Amino acid sequence: MPRFADLHEILTLKEAATLLRLSERALYDLARGRRLPSVQLGGKWLFPRTELMLWLTRQAEAPEGRLAAPPILAGSQDPLLDWAVRQSGCGLALRSGGSLEGLAALAAREALAAAVHVPDPDTGGFNEAACRAELPGEPLVGITWAFREQGLILPAGNPRNLTRLADLARQGIIVAGRQARAGSHLLLLHLLNEAGIRLDALRFMAKPAASEDEVAAAVAEGRADAGFGIRAEATLRGLVFVPLVKERFDLVARPRDWFEPPLQALLGFARGEAFRARAERLGGYEVGATGSVAFRV
């Protein structure tokens, strides 16, 4: 679901339709199809004024017969990215739902860019193979956001004495898992396969966590004995972290869209000292390559 910073600029369906000079029915259809910035709360559609005006500008610049993507960053959730989007004033709305869902939104032009961290077991790399599979034939550019530490997130004091991946398969251990198309779940599958551990040997919570912070919350609140996620979320909640692997977290967009003001503003902010200081405080990030081209497809 998109998250908008300036709540005082949120418009109702009627107000947004008047602003855009559309019928309420036409605007409703666009919102329901996720074709412009919007969010549904309590059965009502709401619209951020700033993002709507950016979306309208991009429609005027789009090739004839093709809707431009709305200023939405879809895909994986990351606390450093969440913070940077807010602090930069870039105008992007966040739509978290997992890496592959982000690529699906990018393919459908429901998002301007996608945040992804999907391992490629064949090469040991990240994200390029997933982009080729999810958007075949599409020209894309992946920009490095950060390298992140992934590992075990455990309660303070580590009362069950869990120290390695295989410990997740111990009897009675409940694991906070992620949805099937999330990058963290795909990375966990890869690591389990490398270790010769079957996925069904682990006992997961009945409902998968929808984001990295939900994994840490489940461990902190005692609903799970362990989770697989990033160091930064463990740090934020004072939890124990056991590092297992370093991953590359990328932002992916079509080549021309990297020149759009929202993405340029975000990347410009990420070059600053405040961004580097925040990454260091959160922990588990390497940002020396932030903003560099990771791959082209």
Q: Do residues 142 and 258 make contact, with C-beta atoms less than 8 angstroms apart? A: no
Strands 44-48 and 93-96: unpaired
pLDDT of residue 10: 86
Question: What are the residue boundaries of the structural domains of the chain, listed by start?
Answer: 1-67, 69-297
pLDDT of residue 83: 96
pLDDT tens per residue, range 249-282: 999 999 989 988 899 999 999 999 999 999 999 9
Q: Do residues 239 and 216 make contact, with C-beta atoms less than 8 angstroms apart? A: yes
pLDDT tens per residue, range 146-186: 999 999 999 999 999 999 999 999 999 999 999 999 999 99
> Residue 8: is its pLDDT beyond 70?
no
pLDDT of residue 56: 75
Binned at pLDDT 50, 70 and 90, residue 62 comes out as low
> Residue 6: is its pLDDT beyond 50?
no
CATH T-level topology, domain 1-67: Multidrug-efflux Transporter Regulator; Chain: A; Domain 2 (1.10.1660)
> Residue 134: is its pLDDT beyond 80?
yes
Burial 152-184 (b: 16+ CB within 10 A, else e): bbbbeebeeebeebebbbeeeebbbbbbebbbb
Binned at pLDDT 50, 70 and 90, residue 5 comes out as very low
pLDDT of residue 63: 58
> Residue 289: is its pLDDT beyond 70?
yes
Most confident of 42-51, 63-72, 189-198: 189-198
pLDDT of residue 25: 80
Mean pLDDT throughout 13-42?
83
Binned at pLDDT 50, 70 and 90, residue 4 comes out as very low
Beta strand residue intervals within 103-212, DSSP E: 113-116, 141-154, 174-176, 203-204
Query: Helices (DSSP H) in 33-182: which residue ranges?
Result: 49-61, 79-88, 99-107, 128-134
Tokens for 67, please give them.
């809707």
pLDDT of residue 48: 85
**How confident is the prediction for the chain on average, in pLDDT?**
90
> Residue 1: is its pLDDT beyond 50?
no
pLDDT tens per residue, range 202-245: 999 999 998 899 999 999 999 999 999 999 999 999 999 999 99
CA angle 57/59/60 to nearest 5° reads 70
Task: State how far the Cα of 73 lies from the Cα of 146, in Å rounded to an integer.
Answer: 16
CATH T-level topology, domain 69-297: D-Maltodextrin-Binding Protein; domain 2 (3.40.190)
pLDDT tens per residue, range 81-121: 999 999 999 989 998 889 999 999 999 988 999 999 999 98
Mean pLDDT throughout 68-91?
92
Cβ-based neighbours of 60, under 8 Å, separated by 6 or more: none
Tokens for 134, please give them.
């999810």
